[in-house]
A and B are shown apart, each in its own frame.
Chain A
Amino acid sequence: MNSQQADRRRFLKGSAALAGLASAGVIYPASAQTPATADRRPDEWYDYGVRSRFVKSMRLGTNGRFGKDPRPGVPRDYGFRAPLQDVYGTITPAPLHFIINHGYDPPDINPAEHRLMVHGLVDRPLIFSMDELLRLPSVTRMHFVECAGNSTASGAGFAPGLARTLPPATAQDTHGLTSCSEWTGVPLSLLLEQAGVKREGTWIVAEGAEQGMHMKSIPIAKALDDTLVVYGQNGEPIRPEQGFPLRLLTPGYEGINNVKWLRRIKVVDQPYMGMRESTKYPSLRVDGKARWFQFELGPKSVITRPSGGQHLAGPGFYEITGLAWSGAGSIRKVEVSTDGGRSWKEAEIQGPVHRKAHTRFRLAWNWNGSEAVLQSRCTDDRGDVQPSVAELGKFIGVTMSLDFFKERPDAITHFNAIQPWRVMRDGSVQNAIFA
């Protein structure tokens, strides 16, 4: 090791210790004194870029790394959470976008062989190749996708309900089943107009090409409104785990509607009641009645810095920042409280604000070193305000205790309640939901 490298090592050690907030995913290797040595990775790096080896941020499976449960014989879990606490701005990098694949590895589809069929109650059934879809008029839009069960206590296979409720939970643990991208594709309405929807066509069934051929019934009004058939994500073809080469995007609707590896749209006159939509995604009330097809996701926000698992270096200035979104439309207002909800200040919203998209908010904050509880609440352009835990409980008619939350995640899907983070005197930040 030459002296330059040794200096650099020392510097990195020091900066890692001092990094505080930034240390969650990123360490900045920079020195005004010594030029850095070259990054000596393979030439292929120039063909297709990779991030710095000092950036460690990664997706995390509900069952741990790679979605693998430590117990033998348990199949891979396919719920992978995005590290929202490390995301800057509003776009989730595609390699960090959350994944729910219902138990299936992404299929290995050759786009030259992929087809989309539109048929059913239409005048002219049609089959499109990818090349043909790329010839049609396209649109580019910013939209979030969110799993219906994001932020509930569900999905932790070997420790049910625990990760999301415990003090060490990060924003990834609590809110990581949502991500936001710039999507490019063709409005589904254009394809349906080409096919000519018959008068009795009131629903569509969308279906994927993976082994389990996920299907979802969607009302025709949504299909003709802002639903897209997308092939592009953040400027590149969508990734295999996001549905390459083609997926459906139903902005603001629960994730299950956004069928990946899309190969078929059938126009029909009723919901087809596939296994997931009729038995897995309905939310079961305590009286035994289940709410099916809840569709739209409500107004929701989370502070991503400072957030659970991060560490404040000491009293002084910190920008509070986070993400807000709503399935109803655009975010009109975000308020932040630093005193556990006793008082609220309006945060600055980063424009342009897109409909049904993650929206970045920021508030300047000087931490005086005493314990503080940080939380955000948003208002969408329909005027709906993100509820507190108690308000959400009241609306669905339950006392939302910690025990209920842990034991009955199926009773509270679409959990969009305000998320509190507690900053301790030592600078550590903890999840304070139900605390």
Chain B
Amino acid sequence: MGAYRMRFSRNRLVSLMALLLSFACAPAWAQAPQYGNVGRAPTEQEIRAWDIAISLDGKELPPGSGNAQQGAPLFASKCAGCHGPNLEGSRLGPRLMGGKGTINTTHPEKTIGSYWPFATSVWDYINRAMPRFQEGSLTADQVYALTAFLLFRNEVIGEAEVMNAQSLPKVQMPNRNGFLPPRVEDIPDTNKRGCRFGTCP
């Protein structure tokens, strides 16, 4: 307990010093040593080509749209070989549906419907990494349609519901509240979360 208190007060001291330093160094910061001619500004085109990670508010999502009806034949031709015609999975790819109500049992079945907290992750991962060995081959419309198909088969959205840059980030996933800490803003402070010797409670 004593050690803990000591650490706490030392942390406060360090924060105070950092605060003072940040004022003291403010003018120096503005003129931080630049490393001349090392690195260049990327073009807008270069940024757009690589800017594929999708945030929870979906601001990187490209134009385009699709629904489950459009996604079904795409799934059959491009995904079923590994994930099974009924999304049941195989040795080559995981199961993509089912498992509802199993997460707190001794045999949790983690799928998009039973476990995944965010719909944007589905779009991001299909676009980034699927189909295996043909990564990057799907159009934005196809990724929206496949995402819609998976969400529909997991009973998250309706069969005709259209997924696009506006609607997808608004989809509420069934297990969104299954993660600790629940608020994304609280993730970085592992002391406050009570993490100890490498494990969080």
A interface list, Cβ under 8 A from B: 71, 73-75, 103, 117-119, 124-128, 132, 135-137, 193-194, 202-203, 205, 207, 211-213, 215, 219, 221, 263-264, 266, 268, 270-275, 278-279, 282-300, 327-328, 382-387, 392, 395-397, 407-408, 410, 414, 416
Contact = CB atoms under 8 A, between A and B. Distances in A.
A128 B180 contact: no
- 9 pairs of A and B residues whose beta carbons are closest in the complex: A298-B198, A288-B104, A298-B197, A219-B188, A275-B125, A126-B39, A212-B129, A288-B103, A414-B198
A283 B7 CA distance: 28
B10 to A, nearest CB: 12
B121 A275 contact: yes
B56 A410 contact: no
Interface string B1-37: 0010001000000000000000000000000101100
A127 B121 contact: no
A19 B114 CA distance: 54
A284 B108 contact: yes
Given A270-B184, A292-B180, A387-B197, 10 more contacts: A71-B91, A73-B91, A135-B38, A211-B129, A221-B188, A275-B129, A278-B121, A284-B108, A288-B108, A295-B195
Given A273-B118, A275-B125, A299-B198, A212 B38 contact: no
Interface of B: 3, 7, 32, 34-35, 38-42, 46-47, 50-57, 91-92, 103-104, 106, 108, 110, 115-118, 120-121, 124-125, 128-129, 132-133, 135, 178-180, 184, 187-188, 190, 195-201
Nearest to A386: B197
A67 to B, nearest CB: 15
Contacts, number: 176
A135 B37 CA distance: 10
Given A73-B92, A194-B35, A292-B179, A212 B121 contact: no
Contacts of B7: 382
A89 B48 CA distance: 46
Nearest to B110: A279
B55 A268 contact: yes
Contacts of B128: 212-213, 215
A127 B46 contact: yes
Contacts of B190: 294-296
A128 B132 CA distance: 29
A271 B180 contact: no
Contacts of B196: 298, 384, 395
Contact of A286 (B46, B47, B104): B104
Nearest to B38: A132
Given A212-B128, A395-B196, A396-B199, A117 B50 contact: yes
The A contact surface, by secondary structure, is loop
24 contacts: A73-B91, A73-B92, A117-B46, A126-B41, A128-B39, A135-B35, A207-B52, A211-B129, A219-B188, A272-B56, A274-B53, A279-B116, A284-B103, A284-B108, A285-B180, A290-B178, A290-B179, A292-B187, A293-B187, A294-B199, A295-B190, A392-B197, A408-B106, A414-B198
Contacts of B51: 119, 266
Interface-centre pick from A132, A279, A395 (highest chain B CB count, 10 A): A279
A81 to B, nearest CB: 20
A138 to B, nearest CB: 12
A284 B102 CA distance: 12
Contacts of A386: 197
Contact of B184 (A194, A271, A285): A271
B168 to A, nearest CB: 13
B112 to A, nearest CB: 8
A272 B128 CA distance: 14
B41 to A, nearest CB: 6
Contacts of A203: 188
Interface-centre pick from A71, A273, A298 (highest chain B CB count, 10 A): A273
Contacts of B184: 270-271
Contact of A263 (B50, B197, B201): B50
B42 A278 contact: no
B35 A383 contact: no
A126 B39 CA distance: 6
Contacts of B46: 117, 127
A263 B190 CA distance: 28
Contacts of B195: 294-296
B55 A124 contact: no
A137 B198 CA distance: 32
